[in-house]
Chain A
Amino acid sequence: MRYVDEFRDGQLAAGIAAAMAREALPGRQYHFMEFCGGHTHAISRYGLTELLPATVRMIHGPGCPVCVLPIGRVDVAVRLALEKPVTLCTYGDALRVPGSGGMSLLRAKARGADVKMIYSAADALALARADPAREVVFLALGFETTTPATAVVIREAAAAGIGNFSVLCNHVLTPPAMAAILESPTSPPPVDVQRPAGAPPPVLDGFVGPAHVSTVIGTRPYEFVATRHGKPVVIAGFEPLDLLQAVLMLMRQVNTNRAEVENEFVRAVGREGNLKAQALMREIFEVRDSFEWRGLGEIPASALRIRAHYRQYDAEARYATAYRPVPDNKACECGEILRGAKAPQDCAIFGTLCTPDNPIGACMVSSEGACAAHYTYGRFKDITVVSA
């Protein structure tokens, strides 16, 4: 596959791995967080941790859009689908997220709700156009990557006067979540199990910054991480070589005591981002005062809602949905895991009660979730294989 295989070249990967091994400072531990679920998925799918020096530990961040969707929001969608005469459509992964009582949109579908999987926001609007007698609700979620597409269909629906279409908006913002992690009392993460008792927890040394999100918002919004918090950020693409290169760049910043926003993903990301997409987002959406993130709790100014001018297309207004926050299962460590304070295998129900086939916590739902990625691709590392 041209333009993709080049970024998955095993020989180049070995070269970067050798550079990392050479440049790792003796006795120095490095703790980096990859914010994005896409990066978590790539690390697991390509087995990248084996290429990193033993002193480099990757902490899986909260950048998986379906993982951070709180139970209360899933409940709103499930209730809409079950109780109102609507077709509810959303992206594939989101269908499986468990809400209250383990009820997901897939399970609601099995109970008679009209739930459809779509591949793009445009498909949702197409469903509404195809059947004007049917109310179509699009459960929109995701970071700044998917937000412009939702904005486009709302504007199109308004321009064409389509009356049977609305959007249940759960779009969230990346920079406030990074700020919340940096300001959280449990940060820096005590994830290093080899740490002697009583020793101070290791410091989070920097971020691998989002790929697709950054194509939209640019690199400027991350500058506070470097200037205010003194942490390096390297924006990286989702291909395995992108990631390895970004980790090497982070190590070099740490080794030279720099804290800058660097951009490995120059083929797609600039400092200002996609101004047209940003303008469109501002036209359709405004920032909510606060929004609940699964595992991270309420984060101020961290999500979007549809502006009053487009109220007709706002499913929250149209169906007067009531939001009730619902706490996670008590045994579930998703919150700690999403903040990087614990690793998946530290959770008592990981791989026992909570598996990808029967997810209890959000991190187990999507293959981008920290727990599902570890379960699906990496759990052989937790088990000492004993020859019979």
Chain B
Amino acid sequence: MSKAVKPGYVRPLDLRHGRIEMIHGSGGRAMAQLVNELFVAAFDNDILRQLNDQACFTLSPGRVVMATDSHVVSPLFFPGGDIGCLSVHGTINDLAMSGARPIYLAASFILEEGLALAELKRVVDSMARASREAGVPIVTGDTKVVERGKGDGIFITTTGVGVVPDGIDISGAHARPGDSILVSGTIGDHGVAVMSMRENLGFQTEIASDTAALHELVAHMLAAVPGIHAMRDPTRGGLATTLNEIATQSGVGMLLEESRIPIAPQVEAACEFLGLDPLYVANEGKLIAICPADKAAPLLDAMRAHPLGAAAALIGQVTEDRNCFVQMRTRLGGRRIVDWLTGEQLPRIC
């Protein structure tokens, strides 16, 4: 009988002072160690623990939904969240907007050489927490390392699968003239929270990002009103751009009431002095729902009964317009277009 070979001593990852090096992406021992000690330890679940290159599972019957979302936010940490929980919420929300119950996530990391392992651990722990809270495990993943200067710390892509319950048929193409337009809460919080952390913008705010997983709110809404026509989370480009997408997809117009759109006073003030329009500022924990007008009241009640929809509001209605214009009745009583975002939102000079 031969003696068991003594395993070589492996120095544990230095999560306090260590940094990402090129060897962490080279496919060797260092990479295996990073995956085991950091990712598998944090995300731990039965499927991931098998350490295969893929996740293998059975889905319950129904239509399967798949979504993917890349996250490149700068700075990595901001009031109310960080790139980690954002990457979990983002994909869960994309799945949920079809009415689906999110089941599993995959996560892919592009790490920049020199990234502090302590920062990476903070991000990974935040992802693990978000995925556990949402009840949607991360079951497979990938890691690559790029040379210093070729990334921005961490880029994360998450992909998710979910299943749509029978009888639910939600699409951006289903808005119909006469439908009501609802939003689940105040807009612009995430974008302003992130902007407040940018180095060249020396302003302080109590605004925190609204990043949140919306699938439970959606389940609650669908239980009250299964016949929701369209749903979408207004992330980049904000409320204005998302409504334009739906209007174009559905071949309809929209008429909004400016006075009914919920905006936190701090967000409004920050946008005012930065020369931005809150309608175009990103959200990460809000959704727009479009439903038949006679279902608007019960849907609004259901949304307000959930903590993530407490400030929900009815903001306008879908109109017949072959030009697909989204228009708004202003607080002053005038009317204007709420157009697609042009380029990046750049501040005006004076």
A interface residues (Cβ-Cβ under 8 A, vs B): 1, 4, 8, 10, 13-14, 17, 37-38, 41, 44-51, 65-66, 91-96, 106, 117-119, 123, 141-143, 145-146, 212, 240, 356-357, 366-368, 372, 375-380, 383, 385-388
Per-position contact with A for B192-217: 1 when CB-CB < 8 Å, else 0? 00000000110000000000000000
**A residues near B349, Cβ cutoff 8 Å:** 65-66, 91-94, 141-142, 146, 366
Q: A96-B346, A380-B325 are in contact. Are A51 and B336 (CB under 8 A)?
A: no
CB proximity of A344 to chain B, nearest CB, Å: 14
Are A379 and B269 closer than 8 Å at their CB atoms?
A: no
Are A13 and B332 closer than 8 Å at their CB atoms?
A: yes
Residue in B closest to A387 when the chains form the complex, CB atoms? B320
CB proximity of B339 to chain A, nearest CB, Å: 5
**B residues near A372, Cβ cutoff 8 Å:** 342
Q: A47-B334, A377-B339 are in contact. Are A92 and B346 (CB under 8 A)?
A: yes
Question: Which 8 pairs between the two chains have the least Cβ-Cβ distance?
Answer: A47-B334, A92-B346, A356-B342, A92-B347, A377-B336, A47-B336, A50-B334, A145-B350
Are A376 and B330 closer than 8 Å at their CB atoms?
A: no
**A residues near B321, Cβ cutoff 8 Å:** 385
- Which of A1, A106, A142, A145 has most chain B Cβ within 10 Å? A1
Report the bound CA distance from A256 to B321 in whole Å.
44
Given contact pairs A65-B349, A146-B350, A388-B320, a sample of 7 additional A-B residue pairs in the complex whose CB atoms are under 8 Å apart: A45-B330, A46-B336, A47-B332, A50-B334, A93-B348, A366-B348, A376-B339
Name the one of A142, A146, A357 contacting B342, with C-beta atoms under 8 angstroms: A357
CB proximity of A13 to chain B, nearest CB, Å: 5
**B residues near A377, Cβ cutoff 8 Å:** 336-337, 339
Are B322 and A47 closer than 8 Å at their CB atoms?
A: no
Q: Is there a chain A Cβ closer than 8 Å to B333's Cβ?
A: yes
Q: Is there a chain A Cβ closer than 8 Å to B272's Cβ?
A: yes
**B residues near A1, Cβ cutoff 8 Å:** 265, 268-269, 272
Enumerate 5 A-B pairs (CB-CB under 8 Å) in ascending A order. Answer: A38-B348, A46-B330, A50-B333, A50-B335, A378-B337
**B residues near A94, Cβ cutoff 8 Å:** 349
**A residues near B327, Cβ cutoff 8 Å:** 380
**B residues near A106, Cβ cutoff 8 Å:** 343
Residue in A closest to B326 when the chains form the complex, CB atoms? A380
Are A378 and B336 closer than 8 Å at their CB atoms?
A: yes
Q: Is there a chain A Cβ closer than 8 Å to B2's Cβ?
A: no
CB proximity of B343 to chain A, nearest CB, Å: 6
**A residues near B350, Cβ cutoff 8 Å:** 37-38, 65, 142-143, 145-146, 212
Report the bound CA distance from A8 to B343 in whole Å.
28
Q: Is there a chain A Cβ closer than 8 Å to B331's Cβ?
A: yes
Report the bound CA distance from A51 to B268 in whole Å.
24
Q: Is there a chain A Cβ closer than 8 Å to B58's Cβ?
A: no
Q: Is there a chain A Cβ closer than 8 Å to B323's Cβ?
A: yes
Q: A47-B330, A48-B332, A378-B337 are in contact. Are A383 and B346 (CB under 8 A)?
A: no
Are A4 and B336 closer than 8 Å at their CB atoms?
A: no
Task: Report the number of A-B residue pairs with Cβ-Cβ less than 8 Å.
Answer: 113
Are A8 and B331 closer than 8 Å at their CB atoms?
A: yes
CB proximity of B156 to chain A, nearest CB, Å: 25
Name the one of A46, A380, A388 contacting B332, with C-beta atoms under 8 angstroms: A46
CB proximity of A100 to chain B, nearest CB, Å: 20
Interface of B is mostly: loop
Q: A13-B332, A357-B342 are in contact. Are A92 and B323 (CB under 8 A)?
A: no
Report the bound CA distance from A388 to B277 in whole Å.
33
Report the bound CA distance from A131 to B63 in whole Å.
56
CB proximity of A152 to chain B, nearest CB, Å: 16
Report the bound CA distance from A383 to B125 in whole Å.
54
Residue in B closest to A366 when the chains form the complex, CB atoms? B348
Residue in A closest to B259 when the chains form the complex, CB atoms? A10
Per-position contact with A for B268-306: 1 when CB-CB < 8 Å, else 0? 110010110100000000000000000000000000000
Are A119 and B347 closer than 8 Å at their CB atoms?
A: yes
Name the one of A4, A356, A386, A388 contacting B343, with C-beta atoms under 8 angstroms: A356
Report the bound CA distance from A368 to B346 in whole Å.
12
Name the one of A4, A51, A366, A387 contacting B334, with C-beta atoms under 8 angstroms: A51
Residue in B closest to A47 when the chains form the complex, CB atoms? B334
Residue in B closest to A120 when the chains form the complex, CB atoms? B200
Are B272 and A4 closer than 8 Å at their CB atoms?
A: yes
Report the bound CA distance from A92 to B276 in whole Å.
11
Report the bound CA distance from A17 to B269 in whole Å.
27
Per-position contact with A for B227-267: 1 when CB-CB < 8 Å, else 0? 00000000000000000000000000000000100000100
Q: A93-B348, A356-B343 are in contact. Are A49 and B200 (CB under 8 A)?
A: no
Are B322 and A388 closer than 8 Å at their CB atoms?
A: yes
- Which of B268, B272, B275, B350 has most chain A Cβ within 10 Å? B350
**A residues near B332, Cβ cutoff 8 Å:** 8, 10, 13, 46-48, 51, 240
**A residues near B200, Cβ cutoff 8 Å:** 118-119, 123
Report the bound CA distance from A93 to B346 in whole Å.
6
**A residues near B275, Cβ cutoff 8 Å:** 92
Are A379 and B337 closer than 8 Å at their CB atoms?
A: yes
- Which of B259, B274, B322, B335 has most chain A Cβ within 10 Å? B335
Residue in A closest to B200 when the chains form the complex, CB atoms? A123
Report the bound CA distance from A93 to B343 in whole Å.
11
- Which of B334, B337, B339 has most chain A Cβ within 10 Å? B334
Q: A1-B268, A385-B321, A388-B322 are in contact. Are A96 and B343 (CB under 8 A)?
A: yes
**A residues near B277, Cβ cutoff 8 Å:** 45
Report the bound CA distance from A142 to B343 in whole Å.
22
**B residues near A388, Cβ cutoff 8 Å:** 320, 322
**A residues near B346, Cβ cutoff 8 Å:** 92-93, 95-96, 117
Are B335 and A47 closer than 8 Å at their CB atoms?
A: yes
Report the bound CA distance from A39 to B272 in whole Å.
15
**B residues near A91, Cβ cutoff 8 Å:** 347, 349
Residue in A closest to B266 when the chains form the complex, CB atoms? A1
Are B322 and A380 closer than 8 Å at their CB atoms?
A: no
Per-position contact with A for B76-116: 1 when CB-CB < 8 Å, else 0? 00000000000000000000000000000000000000000
CB proximity of B199 to chain A, nearest CB, Å: 10
Report the bound CA distance from A378 to B343 in whole Å.
19
Report the bound CA distance from A65 to B349 in whole Å.
8
**B residues near A95, Cβ cutoff 8 Å:** 346
**B residues near A123, Cβ cutoff 8 Å:** 200
Report the bound CA distance from A302 to B221 in whole Å.
61
